[in-house]
Structure 1
Amino acid sequence: MAVTAMVALAFLIPLGLVVAQLARERALADAERQTAIVVAVLMTTTDPTAVDRAIAAAGGPAAGRVAVHGLGGGSVGQRHARAEEIAMAAGQLKTVVTDVPGGLSYLEPVDIGQNRNAVVEVFIPSGELTRGVHVAWYALTAVALGLVVASVWVGDRLAAKVVGSARGLADAASALGNGQLDVRVEPSGPRELAEAGLAFNVMAERVKALLADERELVADLSHRLRTPLTALRLDAETLDDHHAAERIRHAIGNLELEVDEIIRAARKPRLAAAAAAAAAEPGEHSRCDASDVVRERMKFWSAVAGDQGRRCEAIGVDAPAPVPVARAELAAALDALLGNVFRYTPQGVPLEVTVSRRDGYVAITVEDGGPGIADPDRALRRGETNHGSTGLGLDIVKRVAYTANGTVNIARGRLGGASIVVLLADAEWTPPASSRFGFVGRLSRDPAERRRRRDEKGPAGFRTDRLRR
């Protein structure tokens, strides 16, 4: 729009100046024609009375603006130019155009013989100099405004088409990101946007096919696990130790339930948006008691610890510790941590699981007396391991912690091995009321005391010394 207005002004201003110049030249041309009539009269007579009658007869409506100076019997008509300008024109025998009040004077010298020169003066009013100029300017302005309005309308239509195509592509991309795999776009707009729409449709088809293949692969792999699970159940039936057989059958049952859930989840085409919304809704299935989960899982793993000669102890599980995590998710994360201890530490090393609740967080600390974890950062990265495993155990723990607005920290523990602290938000914590001294009261604390308290705190401000008590 701005460019169109500038282009219109670039043409309008010169055209307006040209129109004004043409009007001026037209008025001067009329004055020159009237002067030619008077000169023809002066060629036959210089009598002022005869000249005046001739001007009145041939001059028309503009006869009153014609004057003749320097005749022997006096001047004819009204003088508008100054005497010195008239004398200059007569002396130089040269046409002079001079400004006078109310317009211009066109001075034409004429040789009337006997070494005398007369001067014919034609007065041109200002109205004659600008006659038709304003009308032309109005017409040019109307044309320019019409061009601007038309260009704005055309530009708006083009922009609306481009913006509509871009918005449709953005909405489709957002819908695809939310799990609507069937969304497609109708390629439209400029060539680039149309090509982007075609590429988006191809990408969406490819994503849909890949996800379908992945679901089928997961379902097939999970289904294939049923055969070895059935064999393990049959082997458990042949064990002489009733307690060990019952424990193995219970573990196999839990594993079969997990496999069935994986198969159902893989076969069922759920939308990511619906799953995310269901996960975000608070409810009884998205909350559990961390102490209760630790007691239950430690009861299972204590039997394995007894077989390996490990000291296995749960601390702080008598008090409730509600966390915003589904019970099955927390149990899976805890099994991943305890399974790593039994899998990658020598038999006989001790194991402790501590549950602490303080300052709006619940901390679950798993410590062992093994060799520890040399590279904690790498251990927390998905799929990376030094032990030949899948490297997904700690990633499961990390995702559970992030779901509960928490974090995971790996350090050297009190038992000499690894100490993994899983920090989860307290589901029932209420922020304390602010101190009446506010910010000033906090600033008045001793800096050394503040540093000491900060150094004693672990991840997210949780006291690490309290985790071991």
Structure 2
Amino acid sequence: MRSRLALLVLATTGLMMIAFLVPLALLVRQVAEDRATVRATADVQGIVTVVGTASLDAVRLTVERLAAESRRPVTVYLADSSVLGTDVPPTPAVELARRGASLTAGTAGGGREIVIAVQGRPEGTAVIRTEVSAAEASSGVTRSWLVLAGLGVLLSLVGLAVADRLARSLVRPITALSTVSHRLANAELTARAEPAGPPELRDVAGALNHLAGRIQELLRQEREHVADLSHRLRTPLTVLRLEAESLRDPQEGARLTAAADALERAVTGLIRQARSATTDAGRSDAAAVVADRAEFWAALAEDTQREMTVDLAPGPLPVGLPAEDLAAAVDALLGNVFAHTPDETPFTVRLTARATGGAVLTVADRGPGVPAGLVRRGASGADSTGLGLDICRRAAQASGGRLEITAGEPSGAVMVLHLGPPRP
């Protein structure tokens, strides 16, 4: 923007220079020519009386002295064809002046020729001729043009300086607004713009601050709603734990109690995450988390007669994701297998290390495959919320990775969760 304003001012100043300085330069040249012509005319008019009344010797001395003083050729043509002063052949202007007319005419060299008819001599009309050279006519013009050019350059520089100062007063608030908007986009909701600059930019800054405050308020309300909703789950979880403790089969009761405890931990983590305003990615050991969740789902796989193959790389495998979020993503992947494949469908859980740091979790089954669009938030091919795979996708992106899904009837579904390394 600064460069564009500078170019605009430079173009405007250039047009002004052309509109004013060029005619002024031409006027300076014309004034110089007229001044030289007037000065030469005054010089020859000063000897008109001498030429009209004095003797030839006096006229000759006067003409030679004037030529020496003015450094111009001065010639007197008498009616008897005698020539006094500078020996210059008669010109058409001289012939015209012998008829009694005084005039000024241009010469072939670009100068001016001045002829004056003088009456009163006994032999007839005499003619005084002098010539203003092109150099004398343009004397001082070059210097004046240089002064005008310097003035034009100075005005252009002053205009550029003023334009740059004005542009900076406009660009600085705009840059500040852009910086604040980028900080807001990076979840720095406490960023605020300082109203500065023209009234329009101050209005934009105020609107941006109002928008940031409104977003912060809406997020706070959303966190509170999620926390309240999660807190309401504690009551049915307590009832579920009491029901599990009242079962006669100790193993079944222990299994249900463990499941209730895991669900309560998830709810507690959800409440803590909802009430936290930080966006740090955190870190965890993928090998330990995946092993724990695989062990949890192994019991359900045994109940549904599914062959579960677990192949985990030895840990630790640090990833840039909190343990609670990684566990939720693993549960979503494995829960998707149980929700979208029939009983007795075998599946594989494989965890490997990434060459660039982090880990790769692969869950593959031999079921009917994943319906198109299932990874979209809210989409589900079964009676569910349709948020599971979206949770996986967002968890992968939060760690700097991605989620890949291959769907197909013959080979089932292959879901690959790329998890990035912890951030420094």
1:133-152 alignment runs, 5 A limit:
133-152=141-160
Contact 1:323–1:362, Cα closer than 8 Å, also in 2: no
Counterparts of 1:124 and 1:302 in 2: how far apart (Å)? 116
1:48 aligns with 2:65: no
Question: Which residue of the partner structure matches residue 301 of structure 1?
Answer: 297
Change (3 A) 1:91 1:65: closer
Secondary structure of residue in 1 paired with 2:394: helix
Higher relative contact order (CA 8 A, sep 6+): 2
Question: Which residue of the partner structure matches residue 179 of structure 2?
Answer: 171
Secondary structure of residue in 2 paired with 1:409: strand
Deviation at residue 408 of structure 1 after TM alignment: 1.9
Deviations 1:118-140, CA, capped at 9 Å, x for gaps: 32112335564234435533542
Deviations 1:318-342, CA, capped at 9 Å, x for gaps: x537655355444322211222333
Counterparts of 2:206 and 2:174 in 1: how far apart (Å)? 13
Counterparts of 2:406 and 2:68 in 1: how far apart (Å)? 112
Question: Which residue of the partner structure matches residue 3 of structure 2?
Answer: none
Contact 1:336–1:397, Cα closer than 8 Å, also in 2: yes
Question: Which residue of the partner structure matches residue 415 of structure 2?
Answer: 421
Letter in structure 2 aligned against 1:312: E
1:397 aligns with 2:392: yes
Secondary structure of residue in 1 paired with 2:152: helix
1:240 aligns with 2:224: no
- Which of the residues 117, 128, 138 maps onto 1:120? 128
Deviations 1:132-169, CA, capped at 9 Å, x for gaps: 43553354244323312321221121111112112211
Question: Which residue of the partner structure matches residue 37 of structure 2?
Answer: 28
1:333-344 alignment runs, 5 A limit:
333-344=329-340
Letter in structure 1 aligned against 2:362: I
Change (3 A) 1:250 1:203: same
Bigger Cα displacement from structure 2, 397-406 vs 208-217 = 397-406
Deviation at residue 20 of structure 1 after TM alignment: 1.4
1:13 aligns with 2:22: yes
TM-score, structure 1 as length reference: 0.73
Change (3 A) 1:206 1:397: same
- Which of the residues 80, 85, 93 maps onto 1:77? 85
- Which of the residues 336, 346, 371 maps onto 1:374? 371
TM-score, structure 2 as length reference: 0.80
Counterparts of 1:112 and 1:53 in 2: how far apart (Å)? 19
1:95 aligns with 2:95: no
Deviation at residue 293 of structure 1 after TM alignment: 4.7
Deviations 1:398-454, CA, capped at 9 Å, x for gaps: 33445363532232366x7x4233153698xxxxxxxxxxxxxxxxxxxxxxxxxxx
Secondary structure of residue in 2 paired with 1:76: strand
5+ residue gaps, structure 2, are 1-5
1:188 aligns with 2:196: yes
Secondary structure of residue in 1 paired with 2:128: strand
Deviation at residue 96 of structure 1 after TM alignment: 4.5
Deviation at residue 68 of structure 1 after TM alignment: 1.2
Change (3 A) 1:363 1:221: closer
Deviation at residue 379 of structure 1 after TM alignment: 0.5
Change (3 A) 1:88 1:188: farther
Question: Which residue of the partner structure matches residue 458 of structure 1?
Answer: none
1:3 aligns with 2:1: no
Counterparts of 1:68 and 1:227 in 2: how far apart (Å)? 131
Counterparts of 1:147 and 1:116 in 2: how far apart (Å)? 60
Change (3 A) 1:337 1:54: closer
Change (3 A) 1:383 1:176: same
Change (3 A) 1:304 1:184: same
Change (3 A) 1:9 1:96: same
Deviations 1:158-193, CA, capped at 9 Å, x for gaps: 111112112211221222223332222222224543
Change (3 A) 1:186 1:302: closer
5+ residue gaps, structure 1, are 280-284, 428-469
The RMSD of aligned alpha carbons is 3.7
Change (3 A) 1:424 1:102: closer
Counterparts of 2:309 and 2:108 in 1: how far apart (Å)? 114
Counterparts of 2:195 and 2:31 in 1: how far apart (Å)? 54
Contact 1:31–1:124, Cα closer than 8 Å, also in 2: yes
